[in-house]
């Protein structure tokens, strides 16, 4: 949850000496009442306005999106956002173009004392991660936050290979990989954390079947039906937190779900969604944005894929761009991709074989049951002379005794019963 004392941007128009529009931006397109603030030492800009008599940040932000279309090439496209519980601060990422050149940035709306301020900080996608904190300072926010507690922009980027050789990722100074396995990776640094991972999840029916086969053994994976992405995410994260505690690591807990945005389904998956949530770890509050994909259940299990970025709530807006840059730079090695494809093909064939065998076993069981009932209804059973191959119906109640007496008379197992269920095995 965003906190008033940790507002990412306090817009004070008179705090810093400002340079207006020497970046080649279309001054004629600046909406009435807005100011375009720039810095001659960097690219990008801050489009900002204050209004009287404002009570909610979200309506102010949405109204701002409609107003700035004359400066950009049409209304900017929102890329997800957050707001605090009292709606005194709202933030969102956005994408747009200026004279057909792509820009990206963050819009932040704040309300205090009946005065509302909304500002659009923007730059090219290649430089926004570096310039965003300074653009926010143009509105009077030191270091991007009132307390100056958020980190400086990332510097000295370098490609870092995964320890297990399964991929690589670009990390700025101060960042480190916390874990990597078969293309999955986690990393953290002063700006927050990123993770890309997948795991199997068991359905409740699959877990019940596993308990029958292995009594006394707990389920090897999280257990939850794939009803919706949030329910599964909570179950997976609870399992991870419990595992952390068992290993002597710090646990965490989800304190609030902010937003769920269903996405177009990817082939082979049953659900895809962006999930924004708040979590607490070691007394700190983090804002997290996850992309979750749920696979289709097969033989009692399904795949769960997640990629996420997280940062302290008061710094999330400032750090979102560099976090996404780090996450999107993660690359899985080619041999791992091939292994996954081969494994998926094997798993598919094995699942089909299991399904076919299950159907055949069920059909055989039903046929045998039907034959038993038919035989009981008729009241007879076939007795075969194995020497001549001749069959004869005898009374079902005495078939076993009849065969025993005939074989005693012959002195050899010449005769045998043939139950009807064995005629069509």
Average pLDDT over residues 341-365: 55
Point out the domain boundary residue: 297, 332, 367.
332
Range from 70-79, 183-192, 237-246, 413-422 carrying the lowest mean pLDDT: 413-422
- Residue in the block written with tokens 């991007």: 144
Q: Does one domain contain both 311 and 387?
A: no
Q: Does one domain contain both 122 and 241?
A: no
pLDDT tens per residue, range 180-228:
887 889 999 999 999 998 888 999 988 888 777 767 667 888 999 999 9
Q: Does one domain contain both 133 and 240?
A: no
310 vs 284, more confident: 310
Residue 339 has what pLDDT?
61
Dist. CA 182–CA 341, nearest whole Å:
13
Assess whether pLDDT exceeds 90 at residue 288.
yes
Dist. CA 212–CA 54, nearest whole Å:
62
- Which residues are within 8 A (CB) of 164 and not within 5 positions of it... i.e. 6 or more apart? 180, 181, 182
Dist. CA 304–CA 109, nearest whole Å:
35
Cβ atoms 34, 48 nearer than 8 A: yes
Q: Does one domain contain both 89 and 187?
A: no
Helices (H), 201-285: 204-213, 229-246
Assess whether pLDDT exceeds 60 at residue 344.
no
Residue 284 has what pLDDT?
80
pLDDT tens per residue, range 113-151:
677 888 999 999 888 877 887 787 676 443 333 334 678
Assess whether pLDDT exceeds 50 at residue 22.
no
In a domain, 151, yes or no: no
Cβ atoms 194, 177 nearer than 8 A: no
Strand partners of residue 291: 274, 307
Dist. CA 424–CA 266, nearest whole Å:
45
Which tokens is 151 given?
A: 């980190």
Point out the domain boundary residue: 332, 361, 384.
332
Cβ atoms 425, 413 nearer than 8 A: no
How many independent structural domains does the chain possess? 3
Domain range for 162: 158-332
409: left (phi over 0), alpha (psi -120 to 50) or beta: alpha
In a domain, 347, yes or no: no
Query: Rounded to an integer, what is the distance from CA 366 to the centroid of its chain?
Result: 42
Q: Does one domain contain both 323 and 383?
A: no
Dist. CA 383–CA 380, nearest whole Å:
10
202 vs 401, more confident: 202
Q: Does one domain contain both 360 and 283?
A: no
Q: Does one domain contain both 194 and 285?
A: yes
Which tokens is 395 given?
A: 């009374």
What is the CB-side half-sphere exposure of residue 146 using CA atoms within 13 A?
Answer: 12
pLDDT tens per residue, range 5-14:
233 333 222 2
Cβ atoms 64, 49 nearer than 8 A: yes
360 vs 48, more confident: 48
- Which residues are within 8 A (CB) of 300 and not within 5 positions of it... i.e. 6 or more apart? 202, 203, 205, 206, 207, 209, 210
């Amino acid at each position: 949850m965003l906190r008033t004392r940790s507002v990412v941007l306090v817009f004070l128009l008179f705090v810093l000496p400002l340079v207006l529009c020497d970046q080649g931006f279309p001054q004629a397109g600046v909406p009435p009442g807005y100011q375009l603030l720039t810095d001659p030492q960097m690219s990008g800009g801050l489009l900002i306005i204050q209004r009287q008599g404002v009570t909610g940040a979200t309506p102010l932000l949405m109204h701002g999106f409609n107003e700035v279309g004359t400066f950009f090439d049409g209304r900017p496209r929102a890329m997800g956002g957050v707001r605090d519980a009292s709606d005194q601060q709202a933030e969102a990422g956005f994408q747009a173009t200026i004279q057909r050149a792509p820009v990206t940035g963050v819009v932040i709306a704040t309300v205090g004392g009946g005065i509302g301020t909304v500002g659009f900080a923007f730059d090219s996608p290649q430089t926004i991660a570096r310039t965003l904190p300074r653009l926010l300072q143009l509105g009077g926010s030191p270091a991007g936050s009132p307390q100056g507690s958020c980190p400086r922009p990332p510097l000295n980027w370098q490609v870092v290979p995964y320890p297990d050789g399964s991929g690589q990722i670009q990390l700025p100074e101060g960042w480190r990989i916390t874990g990597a396995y078969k293309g999955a990776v986690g990393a953290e640094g002063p700006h927050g954390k990123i993770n890309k991972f997948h795991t199997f999840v068991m359905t409740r029916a699959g877990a019940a079947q596993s308990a029958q086969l292995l009594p006394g053994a707990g389920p090897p994976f999280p257990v939850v039906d794939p009803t919706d992405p949030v329910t599964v995410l909570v179950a997976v994260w609870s399992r991870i937190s419990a595992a952390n505690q068992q290993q002597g690591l710090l646990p965490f807990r989800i304190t609030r779900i902010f937003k769920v945005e269903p996405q177009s389904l990817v082939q082979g998956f049953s659900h895809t969604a962006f999930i924004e949530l708040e979590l607490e770890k070691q007394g700190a509050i983090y804002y997290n944005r996850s992309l979750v994909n749920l696979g289709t259940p097969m033989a009692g299990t399904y795949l769960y894929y997640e990629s996420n970025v997280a940062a302290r709530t008061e710094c999330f807006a400032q750090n979102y761009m560099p976090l996404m840059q780090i996450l999107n730079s993660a690359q899985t090695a080619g041999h791992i991709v091939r292994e996954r494809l081969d494994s998926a093909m094997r798993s598919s064939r094995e699942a089909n074989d299991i399904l076919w065998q299950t159907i055949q076993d069920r059909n055989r069981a039903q046929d045998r049951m039907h034959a038993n009932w038919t035989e009981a209804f008729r009241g007879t059973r076939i007795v075969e002379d194995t020497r001549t191959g001749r069959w004869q119906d005898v009374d079902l109640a005495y078939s076993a005794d009849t065969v025993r007496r005939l074989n005693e008379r012959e002195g050899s197992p010449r005769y045998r019963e043939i139950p009807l269920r064995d005629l069509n095995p």
